[in-house]
Amino acid sequence: MRLLWLLALLLTLPGPAQAHKPSDSYLALRADGARITGQWDIALRDLEFAIGLDADGDGAITWGEVRTGQAAIERYALARLKLTRADRECSKRVTDLLADNHSDGAYAVLVFEVECGPGADGNAEVEYSLFFDLDPTHRGLLRWEAAGRTVTAVLGPDSAKFRLATEAASPLGQFLSYGKEGVWHIWIGIDHVLFLVSLLLPAVYVPARRGWAPVERFMPAFWDVFRVVTAFTVAHSITLSLAALAIISLPTRLTETAIAFSVLLAALNNIWPVVHGRRWLVAFGFGLIHGFGFASVLTDLGLPQGALLLALVGFNLGVEAGQLLIVAVLVPLAYAVRRSGFYRRVIFVPGSAVIAAVALGWMIERGFDLKIFS
């Protein structure tokens, strides 16, 4: 019962505005012998939260305000990036400050040089701690180029250090790394989770004259869930692969808006059921759109050319593993209390209504570039 109350609470919490674009920075390092150069893209919204850049408080950060805050940006960022080589800490010097736009907004771009001193060559190590004290979900997406090879990694609170090797990275290591990020992404991708939850909530019901009625046995519910999850998995795997390999591309705003629309329709169908027996077709159709959303994250991570297939498969399997864990928790709990008034009056109908309201907010934000959620 405590778990169910927790689930009810989670269903009533509004998600972030960019539900499937969490806080990231993009760190590119390149070694040319003993010389290391870097470029670091950091979201202005994150810097504003950490150090304050909007001097006039009008809600818009101008290039002039970024230039004025350049010294503060450099101090804050470089203090949270440590590089060592040959057991020697390297110094960092910013050579330029630029600006760029990513799919989720404007970024400050620090271009810098790394000096490790005479005789410091070979493998190095980076230690990353940007924003971890403010946002434990923040990730640093690292691209390391050395000796004609490119390696990518994701730096987080539990993986803050990374060995910058000059030799090729292990394909298995990259497979496991991308698998871990796939699990993490589905768990923090609240729009994907709410779409899946909206499809799973009625799995313990069957169509009835007045809407829904509890199933008598578990197996019908199991096979309904199996069809829905399989259809969603197959669909988003198709478009994830096509988009990550740059075969098909859709505008980010269109994709994000369509994902929000899918969450809205799935939630409303629980309140006013229109689609009953073939919800797996809905899962498949909208799963194609969700695949483009997953691909945007995988593209940001960067696919290593030497292990492209392994990275793609690893990320996708990670997404499926994270998804199955959600199913394994939610469906047995829902089945156990499917006959109770608590499930219908607290979880099913009100929960679906809250999901629909949040999804509508996302649609307006993403479609019209407005800000509703903080």
Q: What is the pLDDT of residue 300?
A: 67
Arithmetic mean of pLDDT, 360-372: 82
Residue 7 has pLDDT above 50, yes or no: no
| 258-270 per-residue burial string, b: 16 or more CB within 10 A, e: under 16 | bbbbbbbbbbbbb
Query: How confident is the model over 138-176, as pLDDT tens digits?
Result: 989 888 888 767 777 788 898 899 988 766 566 777 788
Distance, in Å, from the CA atom of 112 to the CA atom of 35, rounded to the nearest integer, reads 11
* Residue 204 neighbours by CB distance under 10 Å: 26
Residue 53 has pLDDT above 60, yes or no: yes
Residue 191 has pLDDT above 70, yes or no: yes
Q: What is the pLDDT of residue 3?
A: 43
Name the pTM for this structure. Answer: 0.71
Residues 6 or more apart whose CB falls under 8 angstroms from that of 181 comprise: 154, 297, 301, 315, 318
Give percent of the chain with pLDDT exceeding 90.
Answer: 48
Beta strands in 16-174 (DSSP E): 24-32, 35-43, 81-85, 88-89, 91-102, 105-115, 124-128, 139-146, 149-155, 161-164
Arithmetic mean of pLDDT, 315-341: 92
Distance, in Å, from the CA atom of 287 to the CA atom of 318, rounded to the nearest integer, reads 16
Higher pLDDT, 64 or 249: 64
Arithmetic mean of pLDDT, 196-211: 86
Q: Which of 39-48, 119-128, 194-203, 334-343 has the lowest mean pLDDT?
A: 119-128
User: Where residue 305 falls among pLDDT bands split at 50, 70, 90?
Assistant: low
User: Where residue 119 falls among pLDDT bands split at 50, 70, 90?
Assistant: low
Q: Which amino acid is at 159?
A: S
Arithmetic mean of pLDDT, 21-28: 82
Q: Which amino acid is at 368?
A: F
Q: At what angle do helices 308-336 and 279-301 cross, to 10 degrees?
A: 140
Q: What is the pLDDT of residue 298?
A: 72
Distance, in Å, from the CA atom of 123 to the CA atom of 12, rounded to the nearest integer, reads 49
Q: What is the pLDDT of residue 301?
A: 64
Distance, in Å, from the CA atom of 285 to the CA atom of 114, rounded to the nearest integer, reads 49
**Average pLDDT score, the chain:** 84
User: Where residue 295 falls among pLDDT bands split at 50, 70, 90?
Assistant: confident
Residue 135 has pLDDT above 70, yes or no: yes
Residue 15 has pLDDT above 80, yes or no: no
Distance, in Å, from the CA atom of 268 to the CA atom of 199, rounded to the nearest integer, reads 11
User: Where residue 25 falls among pLDDT bands split at 50, 70, 90?
Assistant: very high
Residue 2 has pLDDT above 60, yes or no: no
Q: Is 157 helix (H, G, I), strand (E, B) or coil?
A: coil
